[in-house]
Amino acid sequence: MSYGISVQNTSGFIQIDATYDNVAVYASGTMNSSYTGGTLTKTAIPASAPSDYLIFCKPNSESGTHRLTLATWLDGSGFSFFNQQGNTTVISVDWVIAVRSRDMPTNSNPDFGLEVYKLNQEQAFSSNNQNFRCLQVSFDTITSASQSEATFTAGSLANVFSLMSGKTLLGRLPINSSFSALYSLFVEFDYSNNTIKSIGAPVAIQQLPGGSLGGGFKTNLIGIFR
């Protein structure tokens, strides 16, 4: 037999073990959402951040229904969260940049707790970090711009973040002979029904004819950082 540790939550997800990496909060903050034609709000990626990171978010005010999509800049310098096309209401968005436990900065004032290491001596988990606790996950193959993907239902969406990294831009679809809609994959936070889901919707209208949709693979993931 092999020795190690495996911790699972009530849903059967492995939260801690000596094989897989946990992710933890590397940087976090609050910013305004943006919309096409409005004021662009951009948050810079910390210069010290590793190249391998995930971006999560949730609306700061946990009420109503909000759709957000992630836009990252080609030079890798920062990111923004955009509303669906036609929605000009700016909201405050809480964001988290999460990295693997092995990539967290050295803790100069560690507390007592638990550290778990993999066979290669890389840290897989530290209780001194603000770690991600998975609530639900699913995997989808995108085939249509109007395709409604996984819907997660929770008893409460208090402090629940959604993964925003990964597949976002879907492509362009024609509106008429002169204009097309740029489609992105949005995350919809519905606090009235305690649901979070992914759905394709337009993020901008462009004066470009034609267009086509590109499919792709999407990881849907929600959880809490503690």
Do the beta carbons of residue 54 and residue 25 sit within 8 Å? no
In terms of pLDDT, which residue wins out, 32 or 140? 32
In this prediction the pTM is: 0.89
Residue 87 has pLDDT above 60, yes or no: yes
Q: What is the pLDDT of residue 215?
A: 67
174 Cβ contact list (under 8 Å, min separation 6):
180, 209, 210, 211
Distance CA 22, CA 35 (A): 33
Q: What is the mean pLDDT of residues 21-37?
A: 95
51 Cβ contact list (under 8 Å, min separation 6):
none
